[in-house]
């Protein structure tokens, strides 16, 4: 009788272990599915945030960063005749400000050139008597 009870206890423990093992496998599978779902959602959210940031930066620049850098380099080289392409209605972007700066610099250079020519003409007239 004692061995029969031990056999029953052993069978009960094996059933309990099998049930616990099956439940643990289900929970692990559930957790893996949840982790995969969260990873996919995180990747999608990351892509959306990256797209939003890129769109906002391009909007503030007024175009592609490479184009803005190209315009800045041309003005820095002294090319005040460079044309700045702007989106219709764009008056507040970096490119719009660069276009305005280029136009103002060109105007100032033209005024200085005209003033120097006037001074040179006046000096020539004074020198000739």
Q: What is the pTM of this model?
A: 0.61
114/116 Cα distance (integer angstroms): 5
Asked whether 33 and 27 are in contact (CB, 8 A), the reply is: no
Domain ranges of the chain: 1-61, 62-129
Find which of 38-47, 66-75, 86-95, 105-114 is predicted with most confidence, using mean pLDDT. Answer: 38-47
Report d(CA 68, CA 64) in Å as an integer: 7
Cβ pair 61, 93 in contact under 8 A? yes
Over residues 40-87, the pLDDT tens digits come to: 999 999 999 999 999 999 989 998 899 999 999 999 999 999 999 999
Mean pLDDT, all residues of the chain: 93
Which alpha helices (DSSP H) does 62-93 contain, by range? 65-76
Tell me: pLDDT of 1 over 90: no
In the chain, % of residues over pLDDT 70: 99
């Amino acid at each position: 009788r004692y061995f029969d009870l031990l056999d029953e206890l052993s069978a009960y423990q094996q059933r309990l272990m099998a049930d616990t093992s099956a439940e643990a496998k289900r929970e692990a599978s559930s957790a893996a599915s949840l982790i995969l779902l969260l990873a996919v959602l995180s990747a999608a959210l990351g892509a959306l945030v990256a797209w939003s940031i890129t769109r906002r930066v391009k909007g503030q620049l007024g175009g592609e960063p490479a184009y803005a850098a190209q315009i800045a380099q041309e003005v820095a080289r002294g090319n005040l005749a460079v044309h700045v392409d702007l989106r219709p209605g764009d008056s507040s972007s970096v490119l719009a400000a660069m276009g305005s700066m280029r136009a103002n610099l060109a105007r100032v250079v033209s005024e200085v050139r005209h003033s120097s020519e006037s001074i040179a003409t006046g000096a020539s007239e004074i020198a000739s008597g």
